[in-house]
Amino acid sequence: MTWIKICGITNLEDAQTAVDAGADALGFVFYEKSPRNIDPEVAREIVAKLPGQVEKVGVFVVGSDIEWDDIFCRVGLTAVQHQFSIKRKAQQSSQKAVCIDSFPRKARFFVSLPVTPFLGDEQAIKSLAADFAHLRPEIPGQSPVSEGVFDTFFLDSGGSQQPGGTGQPFDWAKVVPIAEAMRNGGTKLVVAGGLTRFNVSEAIRTLHPWGVDVSSGVESRPGKKDPEKVRAFIAAVRETEKSA
């Protein structure tokens, strides 16, 4: 089954709607510039009321000053999604290294990459595909990377001005080589950016992803989900699976 994440949760009502509709994961955005930014204490109260089997994902933008490891522990999250942005100039980052084994519970780590800047460069797409094809090699004498640790990548439509949450889909056909390389290389692809109940079937049929991620496509306004859109989106994914 396709993994479904409903992102940008800001209140308990929306969280419960998504869970009841069959979402596998909920995303909580900790980024002050986002209209879906949520206070860690509010997120903690929501997470405490969610079923154990639902993935609770904290979304953090790389380069921001947020102490993501502290929020992970305080809120009770089960996964961390690092959102990368493409900057013209390298910026100083205050992020620090964190020992994964030091976490009080096993965490999953996701990476979200904006692909829009690559779409006009065929060579860049080939290069990125080659990187994914050899991302997780089996090295004799070394322990393999733990399952759930940087084995899942989100391809999003963000760019230099906005790392994610653009509400615009990218050209899925152009990244088919990347999707194929990810499957061959043992990494999981999650499609994000501009998905709706009307186009998610096409995205799945084009890229055959492990999962899909939606935010604005199921909203009545930024930060507030529309229950009917949430249910319709998840139903569209499940119907697509039946016809595959």
Is 101 noted as a catalytic residue in this protein? Answer: no
Quick one: pLDDT at residue 92? 43
Q: Does the pLDDT of residue 129 top 70, yes or no? A: yes
Quick one: pLDDT at residue 140? 44
14, 69, 151, 156: the catalytic one is 156
Is 7 noted as a catalytic residue in this protein? Answer: yes
The residue ranges of every structural domain in the chain are 3-87+105-138+145-243
Mean pLDDT across 191-197: 96
Task: Give the 3-state DSSP-derived string for the chain, with helices as H, strands as E and coil as C.
Answer: CCEEEECCCCCHHHHHHHHHHCCCEEEEECCCCCCCECCHHHHHHHHCCCCCCCEEEEEEECCCCCCHHHHHHHHCCCEEEEECCCCCCCCCCCCCCCCHHHCCCCCEEEEEEECHHHCCCHHHHHHHHHHHHCCCCCCCCCCCCCCCEEEEEEEECCCCCCCCCCCCCCCHHHHHHHHHHHHHHCCEEEEECCCCCCCHHHHHHHHCCCEEEECHHHEEECCEECHHHHHHHHHHHHHHHHHC
Which CATH superfamily, name and number, covers 3-87+105-138+145-243?
A: Aldolase class I (3.20.20.70)
Q: Which residue has the higher pLDDT, 143 or 127?
A: 127
7, 14, 24, 69: the catalytic one is 7
Mean pLDDT across 60-75: 89
pLDDT in tens, 32-65: 999 999 999 999 999 999 999 999 999 999 877 7
